[in-house]
Structure 1
Amino acid sequence: METVYGSMRQHGLVRPTNGRLLGGVVAGLGRRFGIDPWPARLLFVLILLAIPGTQILIYPILWILMPAEESVSPATPATPAAPAL
């Protein structure tokens, strides 16, 4: 499974941690192809209406295969220095 994750991550197909509604699949696809998330979602729904059923099958598969975006953890606060005696 790591090779699939690595390949998708290498090609920029990741589910973003911010701005996702359900699983982040459409937002990730939109980001990869340079489309904002809302127009990408609208396009997804329009394709769903034109070719019913296929997206319902593809979305969960991509949800499983697309890795989540690695979140950058905030820097840990420095521990205060002990007062000099």
Structure 2
Amino acid sequence: MGSKRLYRTEGSYKMLCGVCGGLAEYFDLDPTLVRVGWVIAFFAFSVGLWAYLICAIIMPKKSDVYPGY
């Protein structure tokens, strides 16, 4: 059984850096719900922007995790 890997999405699923799309695939959620969650965190807690930037820097792209995509 293969293990799940967390990565940033690429292609049509990517809006800015692909962080929300990658999290949505990892947790099997709708990417729109994850994006709305990030926006709420940005305006309500003021950490959404910093968390997104850190994830964009740390998380690898899908093509780096799974070569050939």
1:56 maps onto 2:49 in alignment: yes
Q: Post-superposition, which runs of at least 4 consecutive aligned residues in structure 1 deviate over 3 A?
A: none
* Unpaired runs of at least 5, structure 1: 1-9, 74-85
1:33 maps onto 2:27 in alignment: yes
TM-score, normalised by the number of residues in structure 1? 0.63
- What's the secondary structure of 2:62's corresponding residue? coil
In the TM superposition, what are the counterparts of 1:11-50 in structure 2 within 5 Å?
11-18=4-11, 19-50=13-44
- What's the secondary structure of 1:72's corresponding residue? coil
Q: CA deviation at 1:12?
A: 1.8
d(CA) in 2 for partners of 1:50, 1:65 = 24
| % identity of equivalent residues | 29
Instruction: Mark the structure with the bigger radius of gyration.
Output: 1
TM-score, normalised by the number of residues in structure 2? 0.75
Q: CA deviation at 1:22?
A: 0.5
- What's the secondary structure of 2:5's corresponding residue? coil
Of Structure 1 and Structure 2, the greater helix share is in: 2
1:67 maps onto 2:53 in alignment: no
How far does the alpha carbon of each residue in 1:7-63 deviate from its partner, in whole angstroms, 9 at most, with x for none? xxx6521011131000001111121111111111011112222212x1211111111
